[in-house]
Amino acid sequence: DVADQSQVKSLIEKVKSEQGRCDLLVYSAFPTPPNLSNAKFRDEFWKQNVEMWDPLCEVGLRSAYMSCCETVPLMIDTAKLSSGISATQSNNRPMIVLVSSFGGRSYAFNVAYGVQKAALDRLASDMAVQLKQYNIDTVS
């Protein structure tokens, strides 16, 4: 359950103990929003209220951020493992991929969806600035 930080932390600890490294994190978790099967999914935001916002931003955004926070220390260690080859010259740089959507750049479905996807894009972009010095790539 990516919404449960202790489970995410346990997973990363398991990866570290079993593999000793983490080369790739692909985050694509997305909750099934309420009313997906009817017209309310495309309703005006003030009619959807937080019933749409909370699941999209709790699982779709908060959990992405949390997963990255838990994974990056292991990825930093992984980037340092390049024996004798600078990580900037290697094709083996660790990478974080946040799965987004065109909905982050233009309207799609509803306001909460677009904000969540735009925030994932921005999260990837801003993390890339900070992770560059550790030779970790980040894309959305």
Strand, helix or coil for residue 9 = helix
Structure tokens at 5: 């930080």
**27, 65, 113, 134: which one is catalytic?**
113
CA distances from 70 to 10, 117, 132 (A): 10, 21, 18
DSSP state of 86: -
- Based on the residue annotation, tell me whether 134 is a catalytic residue of this protein: no
C-beta separation of 60 from 30 below 8 A: yes
C-beta separation of 15 from 22 below 8 A: yes
Helix (H) or strand (E) holding 138: strand 137-139
Which are the catalytic amino acids?
113
